Amino acid sequence: MKRMKKWQGVVSLILIIAIIGGLGFYAATIINGTKNQTDDSLKLGLDLAGGVSITYQAVGGKYTDEEMEDTVYKLQQRVDSELGENSSTEGTVYRVGDDRIAVEVPGVKDANELLEQLGSPGDLYFIRHLNDNGDENYTLGDTGYELTASIEELTASGDVVLTGTDVQSAVASYEQDKNTSAQKPVVQLTLNDSGTEAFAEATRAAYANNEDTIAIYYDGKFVSVPSVSAEITNGQAVINGMEDFEEASSLASFIRIGGLNVQLEELESRVVGATLGSDALSTAFLAAVIGLIIVMLFMIAMYRLPGLAASLALAIYSVIMIAILYLYDIALSLSGIAGIILSIGMAVDANVIIFARIREEIASGKGVAASIESGFKKALSAILDGNITTLIAAAVLGGLGSGMVKGFAVTLAIGVLLSMFTALAVTRWIMRSLYAVGLTDEKLYGRAKKVKVIDFIGKRKAFFGVSLLVICIGLVSIGVHSVKGYGLNYSLEFLGGTSTTVNFDKEYSLSEIDSDIVPLVSEITGDNDIQTSKVDDGTGIIFKTRTLDLDEREALNTMFEENFGITEDKISSENISSTIGGEMRRQSLIAVIVAAILMLLYIWFRFKDLRFASSAIIALIHDVLVVLALYAVARISVGSAFIACMLTVIGYSVNDTIVIFDRLRENAHGMLKKDAESYAAMANESISQTLSRSISTSITTAIMVLMLLILGVSTIREFALPLLVGVICGTYSSICIATELWYVMKTRIGVKKK
């Protein structure tokens, strides 16, 4: 690589400083706008910014729990598909009482706008034009199409070809016109098996009758009356004749929402204030800034001039991340913050790997310039493997997960890609510039000292024993508490609870609610898991708690009357279902399992040895179980933050392990003897060579989490503590578990006995 001249280095450094200054000012404007809720602000999740809440009432009969839960699931998919694909919004759908369903969507300030996007849930029917006697089921009058009989009569006579439940998907798209080659808007339908059969018969008859029509009747009106231009037997139909894409999108929306099992009508809609509020957001930003400053100072102290280069690159990473979130309208939630924290740790980790390599090259006798280039080259494989495994996890979680899981995956994927760019491109550019301006002294870069090899392999039984003990304590705790109720302290997000709306005589700030009202509610419920949000009429506050019995509800009403003068007519309570339903839990579990399998296959492919992959996955499971033990023993509330925490631990654990395995693979090339003693020596050397890097990365990531633990509000602190334990545990398992497992497998499995 051609080296920079001095003047080029000076220009580069000036340009770098200008970029940081410009992007920093831009990011500061966005952050300030976010705190003050101006137009220049990040889109925030419901837990940070509030949004719109819509309550639907089930009408038309009494429905079973299974039908209601199925409707909740389908409506959640509807919300995700309508809002999530374009804005990464994390909408939440859950049951309220026996016959109501609530929808909460963040970042929306206009309830009517959201209702238009979602559509009004109603019944959907596909009706053939002519019945068996040749009579019309609908006619075209002066005011449009009209039915000649009731829906009940048409259903009984078999003239209703399909209902909404027969439609698997309805998507607006463009299709090329065969005659003009122009792109025209259409709606593409996919039917289930029973719908395919019925539609084939209906389209066969309509096509034979001069391309007759089949009407789409939704919520008491005709939304489309398309002609049948061919017999459709494969369950894939296309509706054309739209004036524009907006009309096609609207029709697709009607068809999708008409597929709900339960007929719903809007009961109420309201704008809900932030659950965590501006205080949480301000402290999160403050924690991030302080954490980044401490990390930068640590990097400079540890790695000197390269540490300065990494700090500048980290500053660029941070401001670009904010810009991407803003420009692409990506909703930031608590789970998204977890993804960013993990990606910051990985950004630092990539730099640490590079700097360790540069020091090793200098120690081998190479010049500083050659060492810089060689260090980046030798660090590439470890950085790529570690980040690709994490990207695999993010892709699977984003594709198969929903809600908070998808939010975590989006920010993690963006952060990982950005961290690779800043580490491999920006840091290299800065270091070349610094060298070009005359900072060439070896002392500024450091020289790797001779590594003192520690016998980690020899202590493997002690490591395994400690880990098994901690995991067993957690499992025993789960078992003991299961006898009393639930093994883990599930929050109302998992179990459901009681929603109490109180209309106060004055407006309270979120900090006043947290300090003055919540402790009084907690005394009655005996539980600290209380979620609060404001209704945007100013004085209404919603308290979500565990399920309260009649006596507890009366005690709560008495408390509000005695302390705040609120009469019972200003208090309403209703039971709500869990927001993290069984289907979401299953989806999350499936996503994690698929991600683990794909990561195992990738590691197997890259390292050409299943023992590497197996060891990494077992270490990952170990970290999850240890954090689970913390939740069980400390009785930390298990809610949405639990899922985000576990996903972060998984991503961090695998990335940390890959770095040590990369050094193992490299050292294995020079092995002369291939016996247990030689493998133990090589493993100990590999761990010792990467030990400082593992500890440095753990410290920098822990600093970011620790700032959230110290400065965050209660909800964020509850999330930060297990995350901090997960980061420490991930480092421990990489050093003391994963490689030791590889050694045991290497010397016990697939070895020929003499």
Distance of CA 560 to the CA centre of its chain: 37
The answer to whether residue 423 sits within a structural domain is yes
Residues 415 and 345: their CA atoms lie apart, in Å, by 10
Residues 606 and 743 in one domain: yes
Contacts 24+ apart (CB under 8 A), 506-514: 506/539, 507/538, 507/539, 508/534, 508/541, 510/273, 510/274, 510/276, 510/277, 510/278, 510/279, 510/534, 511/277, 511/279, 513/541, 514/279, 514/713, 514/714
Same domain, yes or no, for 564 and 682? no
Sign of CA dihedral 149, 154, 159, 161: positive
Q: How many CA atoms lie within 13 A of 562 on its CB side?
A: 8
Over residues 84-95, the mean pLDDT reads 60
Residue 233 main-chain phi, psi, to 5 deg? -115, -10
- What CATH number does the domain containing 738 carry? 1.20.1640.10
* Domain CATH number, residue 100: 3.30.70.3400
Could you tell me the CATH number of the domain that includes residue 549? 3.30.70.260
User: Which range has the worst mean pLDDT, 46-60, 447-461, 590-604?
Assistant: 46-60
Same domain, yes or no, for 290 and 224?
no
Q: How far is CA 24 from CA 28, 44, 317, 322, in A?
A: 6, 20, 11, 10
Kind of pairing between the strands at 221-224 and 138-141? unpaired
More confident residue, 654 or 632: 632
Q: How many CA atoms lie less than 13 Å away from 538 in the CB half-sphere?
A: 3
Split at pLDDT 50, 70, 90, the class of 457 is: very high
Identify any residues that bridge with 221 across adjacent strands, giving them in sequence order. Answer: 218
* Among 194, 165, 145, residue whose Cα is nearest residue 70: 165
Considering 543, 576, 609, which residue would you say is the last residue of a domain?
576
Does 601 lie in the same domain as 560?
no
Among 92, 120, 148, residue at a domain's last position: 120
pTM of the model: 0.66
Question: Does residue 562 sit within a domain?
Answer: yes
* 611 and 594 belong to one structural domain: yes
Please give the mean pLDDT across all residues of the chain: 82
> Average pLDDT, stretch 559-580?
80
pLDDT value at residue 181: 72
**What pLDDT is stored for residue 487 in this prediction?**
85
CA atoms within 13 A on the CB side of 537: 11
- Domain with 108, as residue range(s), is 51-120
The answer to the question of residue 710 being in a domain is yes
Answer yes or no: do 310 and 426 share one domain: yes
**Domain end call among 98, 120, 142:** 120
Taking a C-beta distance cutoff of 8 angstroms, is the pair 467, 741 a contact?
no
239: which 2 tokens? 């509706």
| 342 belongs to a structural domain | yes
- With contact defined as beta carbons under 8 Å apart, do 74 and 584 qualify? no
The domain tally of the chain equals: 5
Does the pLDDT of residue 583 top 60, yes or no? Answer: no
Which residues of 494-567 form beta strands (DSSP E)? Answer: 497-503, 531-534, 540-545
92 and 201 both lie in a single domain: no
588 close to 643: Cβ distance less than 8 angstroms: yes
The tokens describing 660, both together, are: 């040590």
pLDDT band, residue 328 (cuts 50/70/90): confident
In 328-403, alpha helices (H) = 334-363, 368-400
- The CATH number of residue 191's host domain is 3.30.1360
Closest CA to 71 of 95, 43, 98, 53: 95
Asked if residue 623 and residue 605 are part of one domain, the reply reads: yes
β-sheet with 214-218: strand ranges across: 160-163, 124-128, 214-218, 221-224
Report the candidate in 725, 117, 118, 641 with the shortest Cα–Cα distance to residue 407: 641
Question: In the predicted model, what is the mean pLDDT of residues 593-616?
Answer: 86
pLDDT tens per residue across span 369-390: 999 999 999 888 888 888 888 8
| 28 and 110, same domain (yes or no) | no
- 166 and 58, same structural domain? no
What average pLDDT score do residues 528-539 get? 72
Tens-place pLDDT, residues 123-157: 788 999 999 888 999 998 888 899 999 888 998 99
Q: Give dist(CA 186, CA 260) in Å, integer.
A: 22
| pLDDT attached to residue 684 | 93
Kindly state whether residues 287 and 359 are assigned to the same domain: yes
In a domain, 268, yes or no: no
pLDDT tens sequence across 277-306: 455 667 777 777 888 888 899 889 988 899
Least confident of 318-322, 428-432, 571-575: 571-575
Predicted confidence at residue 115, as pLDDT, reads 66
Residue 488 lies in a domain: no
> Positive or negative, the Cα torsion across 337, 342, 343, 348?
positive
Query: Can you tell me the mean pLDDT for 48-56?
Result: 72
pLDDT at 95: 80
Residue 484, in any domain of the structure: no
Does some domain include residue 410? yes
pLDDT of 18 above 50? yes
Query: Residue 76 and residue 81: Cα distance in Å, rounded?
Result: 9
> What letter does residue 88 receive in the DSSP assignment?
-
Listed in sequence order, the DSSP H helices in 572-675 are 582-607, 610-634, 640-668
DSSP 570: G
Contact 666, 632 (CB under 8 A): no
Structure tokens at 592: 């994690």
Q: How far apart are CA 490 and CA 488, in angstroms?
A: 6
End-to-end Cα separation, the chain, in angstroms: 51
At residue 273, φ and ψ (nearest 5 deg) are: -70, 170
The verdict on 637 and 709 lying in the same domain is yes
pLDDT surpasses 80 at 362: yes
